[in-house]
């Protein structure tokens, strides 16, 4: 069982930055693949980024093409926390952002929401133009 609490959302101007956090309660957090998804009003939930640990202080991350170069996903295994640093935000990125955990231990960094077993409650990010 994994519990996720995501936070850090709020109102930001276009071009601004925001950092989201997701605190996880999980045994062996370092083996959990963590992801971020978002869902805008009237749209399907979409993949943003995901990360897994590959060794001591080594990680593999994947990003949606739309955020590559602007968003950075990171994790602190000592704190059981994953972060999403978002820069150069656009109004169309207004959405509820969710962190997710894949606890199956297979190490697959999936872009599919059905691959993730646990979800945070979501945090609203509003980007004003």
What is the per-residue pLDDT across 32-45, written as a single tens digit (0 to 9) for each? 999 999 999 999 99
Please state, rounded to an integer, the average pLDDT across all residues of the chain.
96
Reply yes or no on whether the pLDDT at 113 is more than 90: yes
Question: With contact defined as beta carbons under 8 Å apart, do 93 and 39 qualify?
Answer: no
What are 32-89's pLDDT values in tens digits?
A: 999 999 999 999 999 999 999 998 889 999 999 999 999 999 999 999 999 999 999 9
pLDDT value at residue 1? 85
The answer for 88, left when phi > 0, alpha when psi is -120 to 50, beta otherwise, is: left
pLDDT at 57: 85
Structure tokens at 40: 């805008």
């Amino acid at each position: 069982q994994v519990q996720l609490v995501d936070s850090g959302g709020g109102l930001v101007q276009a071009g601004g930055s925001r950092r989201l956090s997701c605190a996880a309660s999980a045994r062996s957090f370092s083996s959990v693949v963590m992801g971020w998804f978002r869902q805008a009003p009237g749209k399907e939930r979409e993949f943003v980024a995901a990360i897994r640990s590959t060794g001591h202080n080594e990680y593999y991350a994947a990003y949606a093409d739309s955020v590559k170069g602007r968003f950075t996903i990171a994790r602190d295994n000592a704190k059981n926390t994953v972060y999403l640093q978002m820069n150069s935000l656009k109004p169309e990125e207004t959405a509820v952002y969710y962190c997710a955990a894949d606890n199956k231990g297979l190490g697959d960094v999936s872009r599919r929401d059905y691959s993730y077993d646990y979800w945070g409650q979501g945090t609203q990010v509003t980007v004003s133009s």
